[in-house]
Amino acid sequence: MKFFSTFFWLVIGVSFTMAGDVFLKKSHLDHYGYLALGILLYACGVIPVAIIFTKMEFGSVFLAWEALTVILALAIASFYFDEPLTIYRGLAFVLALSALYFSNK
């Protein structure tokens, strides 16, 4: 149960961070509504991390955070921004999944 709770908070934190990134990108630094929303969402991503740090070590949290960020960023780039899924991006996806798998062994 601890794994699922930790994974849940990781997904929430990464989702907030990635949503913040998307709005910051859409703002082009001149649409202040998107800019403010992006900063707010990005900041909200820190709260789940604080919760996770009470349950896991820093290295484990950081590794899982970065791997999930890569996976979600690839999905957003492909589906939202219509960027092509190249061999290198596919390899990055496989390596990120491998990092998650082997970090829990």
pTM score: 0.82
Per-residue model confidence as pLDDT tens for the chain (105 residues): 576 788 899 999 999 999 999 999 999 989 999 999 999 999 999 999 888 888 888 888 888 899 999 999 999 999 988 999 999 999 999 999 999 888 877
End-to-end CA distance of the chain: 16
Is residue 85 a contact partner of residue 74, using CB atoms and an 8 Å limit? yes
Dist CA 19 CA 15 (whole Å): 6
